[in-house]
Amino acid sequence: MMRDSIPTSRPFDDAALRAQLAAIIDSSDDAIVGKTLDGIITSWNRGAEHIFGYTAAEAIGQHIFLIIPEDRRIEEEDVLARLRNGQKIDHFQTVRQTKDRRRIIVSLTVSPIRDASGVIVGASKVARDITEQLLAQEAVQRTQLFTRLVLAQEDERRRIARELHDQLGQHITALRLTLETLHSLAVDRGELVNQVRTLQNLAEELDRDIAFRVWELRPAVLERLGLGAALAEYAGNWSKRFGIRVQLHLRAPSGTPLALETSTTIYRLAQEALNNVAKHSRGDRVDIIFEHTSDGVSLIVEDNGVGFDPSITEGTTGGFGLIGMRERAALAGGHVQIESAPGKGSTIILRVPTPATRPVGTG
């Protein structure tokens, strides 16, 4: 009886196996680099060419310092010393330098290479560029910090608003009632009536000021209707209070709702900019331009006042609040630009990217 023959797989010969391994190494997206124990590069795959910018011809034969910044070279000496002792280094995070002098963050795994007799003759290094990954993680962490800070600030503002409304508001009401009583008792004493009337006017002004500050601290319209509506309401009330004309220009809202934290930050920066105008500009007109696109949000507050020298002003205490404005904008991932000169008015430009988190209202 004849048996069916069972095919058997033929093992690769050494040359074929080495060729396959070489192909795998060369096609890897990671940089795979061989070097001697003296740090001389002996092999350089396509991943290394892509990550570091040097061709294999440019890199092989060079010292590994080719891709190591000067401030990291002592670190490399330590790595080589550990390799000579037979140690493997796993997922070591460090900085390397590309051909065009960019510094990138890499995760390294370095292993000793032994010859047939087990003697360590070199090292293989696998490097993965994790720059974008770390930047993304930092952006998430910054956003989380920004969110916590904004929420904490707004909670504190609401608390202060409640105290102003409940405590000072009650005291002002009691004061006004008392002054009305004094006014009626002093009806036959002209000089006293005039003094009481002056006090009544002061009490009314104080009442209006407290109401304005409470409203400033709690912009309910921001959560209900969005940033554009909130800016329009604030600009109108601010204009009436300070007697300065305001023109608000809302340009091409994208329809994509803004995150509450971003909306709040822009709203507060607009408040700060207008408060600076009221305190310092001595102008009679302000233009506010708010633009929301798919890429981000920009806010421009421009006045026709006396202007100032930003380089001098920002060196003074508080700097008209410009330092605080820049810090708040930076937390949101944006930046503030100041344009001004004595006698030329001033312009504050805020640009903030639009993160797609916690949408509220319409932009």
Average pLDDT of span 278-282: 89
Q: What is the pLDDT of residues 231-276, one digit of tens each?
A: 988 899 899 888 999 999 988 665 567 777 788 888 888 988 998 8
**pTM score of the predicted model:** 0.51
The end-to-end CA distance of the chain, in Å, is: 86
pLDDT higher than threshold 70 for residue 348: yes
Q: What is the pLDDT of residues 292-325, one digit of tens each?
A: 887 788 999 999 999 988 877 555 544 556 777 8
**Dihedral of the CA atoms 271, 273, 274, 277 (nearest 10)?**
160
Output DSSP code: residue 146: H
Instruction: Calculate the average pLDDT of the chain.
Output: 81
* Band of pLDDT at residue 358, cut at 50, 70 and 90: very low
User: Helical H runs in the chain?
Assistant: 14-27, 46-52, 56-59, 73-84, 131-163, 169-185, 190-217, 220-225, 227-242, 260-276, 310-313, 322-331
Give the model's pLDDT for residue 301.
94
